[in-house]
Chains A and B, each alone.
Chain A
Amino acid sequence: MSSQDIPEEKHLPSEQGDAHHGGVAVADDPFADPGLPVHKPRIQDIDERAAKRSERTVAMLFTLSMLATIGFIVSYVTLPVDKIVFIFPIGKVSALNFALGLTLGTALFCIGAGAVHWARTLMSDVEVADDRHEIAAPAEVKAKVLQDFADGANESGIARRPLIRNTLIGAMAMVPLAGVMLLRDLGPLPEVKLRKTVWAKGKLLINDNTNEPLRPEDVLVGSLTFARPEGLEEEQHDFQTQIAKAALMIVRIKPEDIKDKQELEWSHEGIVAYSKICTHVGCPISLYEQQTHHVLCPCHQSTFDLSDGARVIFGPAGHALPQLRIGVNDEGFLEAHGDFEEPVGPAFWERG
């Protein structure tokens, strides 16, 4: 008697029993499971010559793998590490990388291909059915386990002696605090570190390219220059941390094109100095379009208008780029009039 019932039904809760179609037993159900199809032989099963061919193919693949490994060793020993060869259509590549990779790839692939070919053509391909058993334990097993647990818990007396239980919970809850405490020295407290940069009154603007102090006449309309504070050298141990806040982007805009009054005041004859660090998440923002005065961040496309107080005109940044107030000192060099008046870079809770 073939069962046309869908197999799940046995486990279905009773209220679901009528929830499907085809549940009515019909003796000659056309949709009944006919059972596993009869196994049909492969060519290799009935033709020994074909089987022999498969055997040779597998052996050939394994042999090829051995040859490829030898090729790998030979390449390793003979090819200089810096040799460049032209391989069409890939281009000029490292000969060693190319040779080692392909020989290793071949050696591995052929082992796999041989094994799979062997399994597919020569090992038995008769499908076998294996029974499943329900995962959940039978009721008597469950009862036994629950009883055992109750016995064990009883013998421990944990329910009768709550003092032990409660203090144990307390101790277990507290001991991880020791581990948490140990994390304290992972780093210093933020304090006001994110609010301060090395810029200060009188610090000269050093051209990043030339390492020379900038003069106003160096900066032309339409040009883009990057500057850092005087005294910040690449060799310094905290250079990376300091430049991450102090990096400056300098452009010159015709004073009549500057729309923001404070920007003009803080500039020197249209030379404006803005933080190079995006106020979104801190990428160095410097994709300056000199005709529109827009500057775009390459990371998340925040766009700022440098001719209008660097306000955000597109993208995910939340506030304008901080401007550094600059002027010219007695010797005619550009200098800072102080530190940034607001924190540089990404916003944070305490920024306010």
Chain B
Amino acid sequence: MSTATNSSAAGAPGNTARKAPAGERVADWADGRLGIYSLAKSNMRKIFPDHWSFMLGEICLYSFIIIILTGVYLTLFFHPSMNEVVYHGSYVPMQGVQMSEAFASTLDISFDVRGGLLIRQIHHWAALIFVAAMLVHMMRVFFTGAFRKPREVNWVFGFLLLVLGMFTGFTGYSLPDDLLSGTGVRFMEGAILSVPVVGTYLSFFLFGGEFPGGDFVARFYSIHILLLPGIMMGLLVAHLILVFYHKHTQFAGPGKTNNNVVGMPLLPVYMAKAGGFFFLVFGVIAAIAALASINPIWALGPYRPDHVSTGAQPDWYMGFSEGLIRAMPGWEINLWGHTLVLGVFIPLVIFPLVLATIAVYPFIEAWVTKDNSEHHILDRPRNVPTRTAFGVAWLTWYVILLIAGGNDMFAQYFHLSINSITWFARIGFFVGPVIAFVITKRICLGLQRRDHDKVLHGRETGIIKRLPHGEFVEVHEPLPQGKLHTLTSHTQYAPIEVGPTVDENGVERKVKAGEKLRAKLSKGFYGENTHIPKPTAEEYKEIQSGHGHH
């Protein structure tokens, strides 16, 4: 098509017979250069299953986008400098107070830039919700077994996003240089100092000398707005590409198999639903920012290393590390002129371990089960009691640490002794997960038993029938086949055996310690008392045929 035709076609109705619409022509242009048709062929009508829990990841994605948008706005007004200035802005209770430029510019954003306070609050609320949604999303993936092959790598990406999100949050929270966040940075310095051998050097390099010095705001700023979000952006893109590539998992149900994905096409339904959901998330967070105050730094005051307020806490996602450090006894060992600050260093080591515990679980499970098949049908948590119990135990651990991290608040508002709560956390740290594990497993087995009964005997209708000989029975209605299929389609594994210790010639076979451990763990996962055997078709038929005699 010549350009002459194009230009003359603009207003000439007689000339349109063979001309494609403008949109198509743009697409043609792009396809010739980018190959968009081939790309769209497999993706435009890509199927996504419908379930609310599959949208948790979208909450994370959208709040991340909101954080980036509002964050860029904030950088236009924020001065990442620790130069001391005397405030003369419009907030009266701070006038004449000496503070860093970072704090002063945050006050300006809050009180002199129109809409600045709103954007600050959206940014901070979105950050809290971002990390919360990531944790919930991760738990959804965990409890439904969506991390299994082929999605282990994506699990790791997601986990890294959670960790990076926490640290991006922490560095951002520290930027205004207010009294609360400064206390948090001081804690960080103390924690770094506790590292054996190199602690003081790390601290001096991070802060450009002694704490607080004049550098950390500027340094945290580049970490907060560039380094960490940059890495996160990369991981996020990889995470999403893998979600597309693997196609979404789905819950068991009629017509849903491991070889298909049932749902609605991306265009138009998910374009509208997912696109619309972005606006819904943004709208809700904007409304929250209009209604509820967050991090009112004007009430906290500028940081001074000799000032402090009670209730010194980090944002919630760092709360479990705060709990670790609060619950830890003050152990300190002095040997040969050196100090091992165990009271701080042990929590510092446990902090990544808490997170790593849940992160490595999928690989442990894969190793124990020797399961090398692809899984696209999600587990119901009750059908995998060991995994579910482990997850709940981990959550219990996490929550106990969160409580320990807020022990002063709980003491104040529930009229308890701060010392008792600390002791509760110290004991609960070890005992809580065990209790949670045992209880959860029992609940799972109970629910399995209920499913078992439901399949064999049908649904309780609530109708009481009196039989001719006077007995009262509740009428049970057999389940439809779709439901029967859903309740019985899961796999029940048998534990791995080590096998005979002697081979066929009677020669003793060496069994590696790893093999033995695996067999033992496998027994714990799938051995006795880990599942209620699924009803078999024979059992079902027998009972159904027997129903007539009842």
Contact = CB atoms under 8 A, between A and B. Distances in A.
Interface in A1-48: 4, 6-8, 10-13, 15-16, 18-22, 26, 29-37
B268 to A, nearest CB: 5
Nearest to B283: A109
A11 to B, nearest CB: 3
A241 interface: yes
A124 to B, nearest CB: 7
B448 interface: no
Interface string A199-243: 000000000100000000000000000101000001101011101
B537 A31 contact: yes
Interface string B292-334: 0100000000011111111110000000001001111111101
Interface in A37-80: 37, 76
B255 A108 contact: no
Contacts of B280: 108-109, 112-113, 116
Interface stretch (B15-23, B33-41, B162-170, B336-344): B336-344
A1 B255 CA distance: 14
Given A97-B290, A299-B308, A241 B209 contact: yes
A249 to B, nearest CB: 9
In this complex, the member of B122, B193, B208, B408 whose beta carbon has the largest number of chain A beta carbons within 10 angstroms is B193
24 contacts: A11-B372, A12-B372, A30-B481, A82-B90, A98-B290, A102-B290, A105-B289, A108-B282, A112-B283, A113-B279, A132-B260, A134-B374, A240-B213, A240-B214, A240-B305, A241-B212, A276-B306, A299-B308, A302-B330, A318-B341, A348-B339, A349-B193, A349-B195, A350-B339
A337 B244 CA distance: 71
B343 A280 contact: yes
Interface in B218-276: 245-247, 254-265, 268-270, 272-273, 275-276
Interface stretch (B130-138, B184-192, B353-361, B466-474): B184-192
B197 interface: yes
Contacts of B193: 194, 281, 346-349
Contacts of B530: none
Interface in A91-110: 93-94, 96-102, 104-110
Contacts of A193: 204, 209-210
A258 interface: no
A287 to B, nearest CB: 7
A35 B255 contact: yes
B286 A299 contact: no
B524 interface: no
Contact of A7 (B189, B257, B304): B257
B279 A108 contact: yes
Q: Which 4 A-B pairs have the closest CB atoms?
A: A101-B290, A281-B190, A109-B283, A318-B332
B306 A8 contact: no
Contacts of A346: 189-190, 193-194, 341, 344
B52 interface: no
Contact of B481 (A34, A317, A351): A34
A338 interface: no
A100 B258 contact: no
B115 A96 contact: yes
A337 B373 CA distance: 75
Contact of B344 (A15, A128, A281): A281
A315 B534 contact: no
Contact of A347 (B205, B259, B332): B332
A247 B341 CA distance: 23
A244 B330 contact: no
B410 interface: no
Given A105-B286, A115-B279, A190-B200, A129 B343 contact: no
Nearest to A299: B312
B144 interface: no
B209 to A, nearest CB: 5
A118 B283 CA distance: 18
B376 A36 contact: no
A219 B116 CA distance: 46
B349 interface: no
Contact of A119 (B114, B268, B492): B268
Contact of A26 (B258, B334, B537): B537
Interface stretch (A139-147, A155-163, A164-172, A180-188): A180-188
Interface in A271-290: 276-277, 280-287
Interface stretch (B482-490, B502-510, B512-520): B482-490
Interface residues of A, number: 116
Nearest to B305: A244
B429 to A, nearest CB: 13
B106 interface: no
A316 interface: yes
Interface of B: 46-47, 84, 90, 98, 111-115, 117-118, 121-122, 150, 183, 186-187, 189-191, 193-201, 203-215, 245-247, 254-265, 268-270, 272-273, 275-287, 289-291, 293, 303-312, 322, 325-332, 334, 337-344, 347, 370-377, 407-408, 418-419, 422, 455, 481-482, 484-485, 488-494, 533-534, 536-537, 540-541, 544
Nearest to B257: A7
Interface in A282-313: 282-287, 298-302, 312
Contact of B287 (A36, A105, A298): A105
A119 to B, nearest CB: 4
Given A31-B489, A187-B209, A352-B338, A18 B494 contact: yes
A119 B186 contact: no
B254 to A, nearest CB: 5
Nearest to A120: B273
A150 interface: no
A183 B198 CA distance: 15
A225 to B, nearest CB: 13
A114 B186 CA distance: 48
A235 to B, nearest CB: 8
A129 B117 contact: no
A111 interface: yes
A16 B275 CA distance: 43
A6 to B, nearest CB: 5
B183 A348 contact: no
Nearest to B207: A187
Contacts of B198: 349
Given A33-B254, A123-B272, A283-B183, A349 B196 contact: yes
Contacts of A135: 150, 245-246, 374
A330 interface: no
A228 B307 CA distance: 13
Contacts of B493: 16, 19-20
Given A102-B286, A109-B287, 16 more contacts: A4-B537, A8-B373, A11-B373, A20-B493, A35-B255, A97-B117, A105-B285, A109-B283, A125-B269, A129-B260, A237-B84, A239-B84, A244-B212, A280-B190, A299-B183, A312-B330
A189 B276 contact: no
B186 A282 contact: yes
B491 A6 contact: yes
Nearest to A99: B290
A256 interface: no
Contacts of B277: 112, 116
A302 B434 CA distance: 28
A234 B99 CA distance: 10
A31 B484 CA distance: 5
B374 A187 contact: no
B115 A76 contact: yes
A90 to B, nearest CB: 6
A90 B291 contact: yes
Given A282-B186, A318-B330, A319-B332, A102 B276 contact: no
Contacts of A331: none
Contacts of A116: 272-273, 276-277, 280
